[in-house]
Amino acid sequence: MKDKFFEYFFGTNDYALVFVCFIFGCIGMFIMMLVDIMGRDKTSKPSPYEFSFKWFFKDNKPRFLLNFFIMLVCIRFCADFLHEPTSPKTSLIIGFFSDVIAIMVKNRKKKATIDAEASDGKDLFKITEINTNKNEIKVESIGTDSSKNSK
């Protein structure tokens, strides 16, 4: 029963493969996060001037959690989507892209927040550029919604 559950949950009975793939996925995820650290703005108000891993891990808890679940799901279903067995190589690539997907989800949430605030009859905004490398969204005012103001 335990082996059947493991096979359904992870897609294989090979405990070593699951563990190694997860480790390589984590390596890919941490490499992408370190790349993000290299591009941080030291003069930014929320970021300390002297870098510390303690602050970074504390500040990015939701990002780590989201990356973990994205990576877990993608590694599990990789064989189904690619029609080839999951390997450490594909897990490393999944780890690289889990952080990119997490950033896209974060930016999508920011866009939805901006759209919701704009739709209440005040100024309307249009998103002109999304830069996932710098984690920025540029917006442009397109006027006001006069039909909502007249009610």
Domain chopping of the chain, boundaries = 2-107
In this model, does residue 24 exceed pLDDT 90? yes
| 151, pLDDT greater than 50 | no
pLDDT average, residue stretch 7-36: 85
pLDDT tens sequence across 67-84: 888 888 888 888 888 888
| 21 vs 53 pLDDT, higher one | 21
pLDDT at 23 over 90: yes
More confident residue, 20 or 6: 20
pLDDT of residue 119: 55
How far apart, in whole angstroms, are the C-alpha atoms of residue 142 and residue 66?
34
Specify the higher pLDDT residue, 17 or 1: 17
Per-residue pLDDT averaged across 14-38, rounded?
86
Phi-psi region of 78 (alpha: psi -120 to 50; beta: other; left: phi over 0): alpha
| pLDDT reading at 106 higher than 50 | yes
Q: What is the mean pLDDT of residues 45-58?
A: 76
Please report, to the nearest 10 degrees, the dihedral formed by the alpha carbons of residues 22, 27, 31, 37 taken in order: 80
Where would I find the H helices in 52-149? Answer: 53-59, 61-82, 88-118, 146-149
Cα–Cα distance measured from residue 139 to residue 127, given in angstroms and rounded to the nearest whole number: 4
DSSP per position, 61-86: HHHHHHHHHHHHHHHHHHHHHHSS--
Determine what percent of the chain is predicted with pLDDT higher than 70: 74
Element (H, E) at 143: strand 136-144
Does residue 16 register a pLDDT over 90? no
Question: Within the chain, what is the greatest distance between any pair of CA atoms?
Answer: 66
